[in-house]
């Protein structure tokens, strides 16, 4: 007589691991080995969470379960507050990486952070990326907003050398040269889905690319 396997409830940590692994494109067989559960159990739990993939591996809301808990802390924070937090986190990250960082005295400046190396300065605009629950991605506008009428317009070349796009709640950042951003009104970011293949410009190529700032300062001195 074959002994029936006793069903064991999924813990929060197992569920988060399942979401993260599926978002990264890991197979159910591999997930089964990692979590010590049957492949069938992993498939059933993923189905309950709607972690299914359509054509091309994309799905509306994909990865939402992985990031939503960390994003809860920012729901009551204003847009200006989120922007300030993103600027502070980027300043800390740049300092940890050994850069000399300076912040403009004037608030709402078109340059949020200045990194200096010798006689060369690198001007950085920091943008906080917003989680879009409907599409399962982080989305960030790359144009300035006119406080008087709410309309958006492009930044001026020479005012910015790099955008740093920071995803609050998942602590992922994208360091992108300004000249690559100016033709885009928005950036759609998927730090929770590193294996996603995007059409057109792939922002994921610039995730955590702080070495580009170092190269910019070195080549310009």
* pLDDT tens, residue by residue, 78-105: 888 888 999 999 999 999 999 999 998 8
Q: Are 152 and 143 in contact (CB under 8 A)?
A: yes
Burial class of 125 by CB neighbour count within 10 A (0 to 12, 13 to 18, 19+): buried
* Ranges of each domain in the chain: 12-52, 71-220
Which is higher by pLDDT, 69 or 88?
88
Which is higher by pLDDT, 22 or 117?
117
Lowest-confidence region among 144-153, 156-165, 188-197: 144-153
| pLDDT value of position 220 | 58
The two three-digit tokens of residue 163, written as one number: 């955008």
CATH 3.40.1350.10 fits domain 71-220: yes
Q: Are 60 and 190 in contact (CB under 8 A)?
A: no
Q: Tell me the H-state helices in 97-196.
A: 178-181
């Amino acid at each position: 007589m074959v002994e029936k396997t006793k069903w064991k409830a999924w813990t929060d940590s197992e569920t988060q691991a399942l979401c993260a692994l599926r978002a990264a494109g890991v197979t159910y067989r591999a997930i089964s080995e990692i979590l010590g559960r049957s492949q069938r159990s992993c498939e059933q739990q993923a189905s309950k969470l709607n972690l299914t993939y359509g054509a091309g591996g994309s799905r509306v809301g994909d990865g939402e379960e992985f990031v939503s808990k960390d994003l809860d802390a920012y729901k009551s924070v204003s847009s200006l507050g989120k922007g300030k937090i993103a600027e502070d986190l980027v300043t800390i990250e740049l300092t940890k990486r050994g850069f000399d960082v300076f912040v403009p005295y004037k608030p709402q400046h078109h340059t949020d952070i200045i990194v200096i190396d010798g006689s060369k300065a690198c001007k950085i605009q920091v943008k906080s990326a917003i989680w879009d629950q409907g599409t399962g991605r982080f989305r960030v506008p790359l144009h300035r907003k006119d406080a008087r009428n709410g309309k958006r317009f492009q930044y001026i070349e020479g005012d910015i050398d790099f955008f740093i796009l920071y995803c609050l709640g998942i602590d992922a950042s994208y360091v992108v040269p300004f000249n690559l951003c100016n033709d885009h009104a928005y950036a759609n970011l998927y730090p929770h889905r590193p294996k996603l293949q995007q059409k057109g410009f792939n922002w994921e190529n610039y995730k955590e690319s702080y070495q580009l700032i170092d190269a910019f300062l070195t080549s310009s001195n």
